[in-house]
Structure 1
């Protein structure tokens, strides 16, 4: 049983094969590696310098076996492959089994003979993993819904602070810019959470954990016994601003060192009002006056990102901690792409936030509901069905209930105005709650988040990695290898040089969140690394080679030498591809920013700044108006 990876000139084989008793079909392939080999890092001694995890996936895909187990003796990784579906990886650390016996039980339950052979087909591991994969879209959609509500909470918090300051804070700042600022904050948080979980910032350093880390902040806020007390404290927002500044400009201190990552994403001057500064001021010249955004608001922002509210059998929801390390960059991009069709508006009259079908919430003016109700119940139900997508039976049931579900909460959001309370009460069961559990009532003059008038008619869809991998490979192979268009199979001998590869220009004219650009970056970078290895082999180890040409050090103008570590080479190649080869264009400028974020995540390196990204806002490029 074997699989040949032609383009890398290597044949993969398992060391052990576990077969099904009933039909002798292979159920599990097993490969072991020496103890020092990390299962997620390149196998340096192999011709194809891929990780054990990647090699096992290729072996499974080539043989059609659904499951593989890879181990180095202390770490065990289960790899599951399904045609046309994303791969699944599950990892156990044997060193933790004595401290966390639940993980040992999970390993025994999933990998034991009973699970593989002694249960019905629907309860065996391939079926369970296939069911789990089907939930991936649900996870992505739910995270998108939670992030949208978090953006709404932050927009309204800043708007309230602006009202308390008689409108001085947001002088010259439109509602659309306020929405973009709130969305940027959430993008920053996703970046930091992803970077911290990947070990690319300083998570684990006591000083960072205590004063800067985002991953640990939520748990620290939850240590307060009464969440209501958090509404009167405001230090968490200042902490986030400090973290954003530290990432942007770097820190050079005897107790903490962090390289400056630069980039527009964390630029404090991009939205100075978030720091309480006026437009046109510079963060290094004018002191920040951090906004009194409550710790409770910050808590809800973090919980929207770190915990998924998942439906459970039998009804109800259960919070589940989300791992950004395990989340595909494509999934993160899709979450934010779903926010491109939203914007912020200022209410000209009282607006109610209504529950929609499938989480597709809507905002409707109270006066419109009253006008429809004055016509007839039938007219009101027909209007609500069109706006919310809910069934007429469910709408009639809500409209005929007499008492509001939470009268005290509704009175609170009505700010003691009995007349307003009485007007809204008849529609109270239609209202949705915000992340604080309060019914959504937007008062005249307040800013709220809603669907924009330029909403994309095609909607947004999660682009799985399996799709981008196939499209990118099919599209780029004729450009990366010689003779592919003439029917010659890609191979190490036909691979073009790193210089030729890095001279290519790849443009996605409707890049969205950058799913195809991210995969192009991965794929082209892997070919660049292979080109460097090929040049090294041809040079016979005569001396160090330069980057990116892979020429002998004395024969090149480049002063940068090819790093010896495979991981360093791949990180460097991804940055070079992102900076030199990839271009993204979109009608929505925030889509370009999201594509940049996706590429930053795939190219991020612990000791290097963000690479320059070739992103363009098509509207400004063509002089069009949104």
Structure 2
């Protein structure tokens, strides 16, 4: 079946198959009449004469809407209470009575509250996602729709959330409630379905025409927007729920087969292929193979690799390997244990993805996942067909009661792939009775800090934390525009001042960090939200000021042209449909706004994979992300000013050189920020510059990490440790910086073991020194204060409402001077209000917003009393691991107490906690994350709620 649709509002599996099982599909009335009427209308329409917008609207769009049951409507109703900035082409009503109720209002914007959807019409075949370059078409139609939907959502308080955008041929349905409104739409090429597509759309066979006409009628007809008498949901709500159910079911099935079959099979096969390899190396290699496979399957199903190019299809995994295995499995064929046909094909494709192969239309997609040096073990192994066939078949076909069903990765999001990683952290590879076993590790998730965060909570955090920052930029632009309009200012100066406050450009200056990113779930949602807001800001600004054009529009066009020119020059396949404004903006958001930290190195790599897949552009290299996604423990590390203060004047002299070099790294970081990575040379330049940055910051990072490691060993309490620390600072062991960086040195000092213990701790714990890790963010590293307040959200912070000043500093020997001073906003006296709850205005049911999900401490209905963040039940199956974990936990608790941060309170004995884990001082949980903006650029740190899955 051909594919005349686009967007991800509804699942492809639903549109092709599941929709046929719905009663609505079976009872679409008068389909023959609809087909005949639409064909007659399109046949009469002069498509070859480039009809203008008015002609397309009158002679095609509104007649089609009438055939779909939309007889009650109003045209050109102003959404703006003042002026005429937002005027959709049409407002659709359920019936004449609803229209009559709307007409009782003199103010046009109030009439929208009685409608069902809006319509925005464009000329025949006008591009919907980019500027056409024609006069009067300065804005992309999709940006207009996003602006209208946001405005309507506000003026109707969420009653009207649907919009129809069409150029006569392509009909697109938007839903304001989607996570990414710009991306999660449904589009059907009606022109192609009826044989009238003139812009290269997919041709539709006669057998498919009736199906897609039924889909068109079901989605766009008036009845689809009305509640069903049976379950009070609209057709769209049922379709979205069906898609969600399908996605969750497939993801659950895929996860089960990965954990029970695929990952164990890969581990055992790799261990057998290289019997001398350490088990940790085998585990990492198996993870790399698994995620390379998932990357290719996902990218090919989503047309992110050039599967439609005849040069590539002979080397694609989809037909050459995946399809062949499926056919042989269905036929009951036998696969060789020793012979290897599939492994070389897969390995060759991975090499081509990494290095590029212009002869098959494939550009180099730089990135660590496919780097040959990233998993050296894989270069020396060959897995037999029997293993590869079982693995690829399990990842390609779902087992259902009705038989094997092809898994279409187009219907899965990168969040679903990331969830597989989240659960893989619970597995460890061990030898038991001579066999390689993959088993659950009850400590893995807590030790790594990886926890599942529900989608609704992620969306809520992003919206409530980032939304006001974007709104402030739009408000500043609007205020400046109003001020300039009231005075006589030359046009060029007026536009120049406005462009300096362009809300889209200034939104791209936001820096948002997830300090425990895992596989990047939160950051993926963040990219969607910020990209939507950037597109909306462009449209808002251009609608507010006549003749204004966002400077971002020119940059978007430049990036698009660069990608296309490079692809054409090098013979790479590219899809212009994947270079629309929304795709380019997502790449820009990814490169400039997204920051993340995780202690697990594999998590960092897989977060990159998630973000790359989510912002993938055929024909363009992968964005360089190493400068923003860092490996380290975000809760522990050192800061420059306390570090300098803790060394006396003489000892601190050796820090001046490393500090000066590290602070100079801010300038090259700004160069990386400015590179678009639209061509492979820019991506390589980003990598080369970041290598210089790493070299510049390495000495200071190493010194600060070693100092913090000594803190962990307990300087104030243990004499030998303190002595070793002071000897290191005084240079008794040798050059302080060289030692911290791991360079060899000779010493027979009696306190050397304590120094070596600190060096080992610094290496294993991966402390994150925030200023050094992100040198482009901070300025004045030696300043005493790092900002009056932190901007950190989490269930505990939202509930307590505390502000935390700078962390405590210590003397040279590490003795803490004082705990951080905290201020509580809850009552004037700083105490808990009467009744043991929150102030009256913050209690559930009080003032503020209502509705939305409730997450125990952060909800749209207002914060509640903090709940336990994590419940862990441990067993005693591995006493040695339990003792190791117990020692680590005690060290962490001690370090947190010294720093004035949260104290973990565990119940039980012998190092095994039997009850819930609670934060005794939750407001201090992110005291390390007080961030100082660089030159006025705000940094928003969002803390994800750590919530275990059901059954954990």
TM-score (norm 2): 0.43
Q: Is the 8 A contact 1:214 1:240 kept in 2?
A: no
Map of 1:218-237 to 2, 5 A cutoff? 218-224=322-328, 226-232=331-337, 234-237=340-343
Secondary structure, in 3 states, of the residue corresponding to 2:334? helix
Q: Cα–Cα, structure 1 residues 523 and 490, in superposed 2: closer, same or farther, change >3 Å?
A: farther
Contact persistence 2:88–2:119 (CA under 8 A): no
Match of 1:595 among 596, 607, 620: 607
Question: Does the alignment pair 1:333 with 2:421?
Answer: no
Return 5+ residue gaps in structure 1 as ranges. Answer: 163-168, 278-289, 311-315, 350-443, 551-563
Taking the aligned partners of 1:539 and 1:481, their CA distance within structure 2 comes to: 22
Q: Which moved more, 1:503-512 or 1:448-457?
A: 448-457
Which of 167, 170, 177 is the aligned partner of 1:75? Answer: 170
The answer to whether structure 1 residue 301 and structure 2 residue 407 are counterparts is: no
Say which of 267, 270, 286 aligns to 1:158. Answer: 270
Residue 161 of structure 2 is aligned to residue 147 of structure 1:
no
Check the 8 A contact 2:120/2:145 in 1, yes or no: no
Determine the structure 2 residue equivalent to 1:474.
Answer: 464
Query: Alpha carbons of 1:260 and 1:84: their partners in 2 closer, same or farther (altered >3 Å)?
Result: closer
Contact conserved, 1:588 with 1:617, CA < 8 A, in 2? Answer: yes
Relative to structure 1, the CA distance from residue 449 to residue 297 in structure 2 (aligned partners, 3 Å threshold; closer, same or farther) is farther
Contact 1:340–1:588 under 8 Å retained in 2: no
Question: Could you report, residue by residue, the CA deviation over 1:184-235 in whole angstroms, capped at 9, with x for unpaired residues?
Answer: 2222223223333443322122231112344663223223363442345521
Q: Does 1:186 align with 2:290?
A: yes
Instruction: State how far apart, in whole Å, the 2-side matches of 1:499 and 1:476 are.
Output: 15
Counterpart-to-counterpart distance in 2, 1:243 and 1:589: 25
1:520 maps to 526
Q: Any idea what SS the aligned residue of 1:608 has? A: coil
Asked if structure 2 preserves the Cα contact closer than 8 Å seen for 1:340 and 1:591, the reply is: no
The alpha carbon displacement at 1:589 in A equals 2.1
Deviation at 1:59, TM superposition (A): 7.0
1:123-162 residue CA offsets vs partner (Å, 9 max, x unmatched): 7514523542652544433332233332222223323x43
Aligned pairs for 1:33-48 (under 5 A) are: 33-37=122-126, 45=137, 47=139
1:179 is displaced (CA, Å) by 2.2
Match of 1:104 in 2: 213
Deviation at 1:4, TM superposition (A): 5.5
Identify the residue that residue 249 of structure 1 maps to in structure 2. 355
After superposing the two structures, state which structure 1 stretch, 210-219 or 479-488, moved more.
Answer: 479-488
8 Å CA contact 2:520–2:607 kept in 1: the answer is yes
Q: Secondary structure at the match of 1:616?
A: strand
Deviates more, 1:16-25 or 1:28-37: 16-25
The question of whether the paired residues in 1 share the 8 Å contact of 2:264 and 2:437 is answered with no
1:292 match: 383
CA distance in structure 1 between the aligned counterparts of 2:454 and 2:551, rounded to whole angstroms: 44
Deviation at 1:607, TM superposition (A): 2.9
Contact 2:227 2:235 in 1 (8 A): no
In the other structure, the counterpart of 1:120 is 229
Asked whether the 8 Å contact 2:514–2:523 carries over to 1, the reply is yes
Match of 2:308 among 200, 204, 211: 204
The answer to which of 126-135 and 240-249 deviates more is: 126-135
Deviation at 1:261, TM superposition (A): 1.7
Q: Which moved more, 1:446-455 or 1:607-616?
A: 446-455
| Bigger-Rg structure (1/2) | 2
How far is the alpha carbon of 1:70 from its aligned partner?
Answer: 4.0
User: Does residue 1:618 correspond to 2:632, yes or no?
Assistant: yes
- Aligned counterpart for 1:608 among listed residues 620, 636, 641: 620
Query: CA distance change for structure 1 residues 248 and 127 in 2, over 3 Å: closer, same or farther?
Result: closer
1: CA distance, partners of 2:501 / 2:593 = 17
Residues 513 and 594, structure 2, Cα contact 8 Å, conserved in 1: yes
Match of 1:92 among 185, 188, 191: 188
Q: Distance in 1 between matches of 2:548 and 2:235?
A: 47
In the alignment, structure 1 residue 583 sits paired with structure 2 residue 583:
no
Secondary structure of the corresponding residue to residue 50 of structure 1: helix
Q: How much does 1:46 deviate?
A: 5.9
What is the SS of the residue equivalent to 1:92?
Answer: strand
Tell whether the 8 Å contact from 2:88 to 2:148 is kept in structure 1 after alignment: no
Q: Does 1:17 align with 2:95?
A: no
Asked if 1 retains the 8 angstrom alpha-carbon contact of 2:426 and 2:444, the reply is yes
C-alpha separation in 2, matches of 1:33 and 1:577: 28
In angstroms, what is the RMSD of aligned CA positions? 4.8
Aligned counterparts of 1:203 and 1:332: Cα–Cα separation in 2: 21
Conserved in 1, the CA contact under 8 Å of 2:473 and 2:507? no
Do the aligned partners of 1:80 and 1:126 also contact (CA within 8 Å) in 2? no
Q: Which of 430, 453, 461 does residue 452 from structure 2 map onto?
A: 461
Contact 1:158 1:293 in 2 (8 A): no
CA deviation string 1:321-365 (max 9, x = no partner) = 44433433333323332322223222x23xxxxxxxxxxxxxxxx
User: Which position in structure 2 is the counterpart of 1:268?
Assistant: 372
Flag the structure with higher helix content.
Answer: 2
* CA distance 1:263–1:140, change in 2 (3 Å): same
Would you say the 8 A contact 2:353–2:363 is kept in 1? yes
Extract unaligned runs of 5+ from structure 2: 1-73, 100-113, 194-203, 483-497, 559-575, 638-761, 766-884, 886-952
- Which residue number in structure 2 is paired with residue 342 of structure 1? 427
Q: Is the 8 A contact 1:247 1:261 kept in 2?
A: yes
Report how far residue 107 of structure 1 moved: 3.8
Following superposition, the deviation at residue 595 of structure 1 comes to 1.3
SS at match of 1:455: helix
Distance 2:524 2:335 in 1: 39
SS of 1:99 mapped into structure 2:
helix
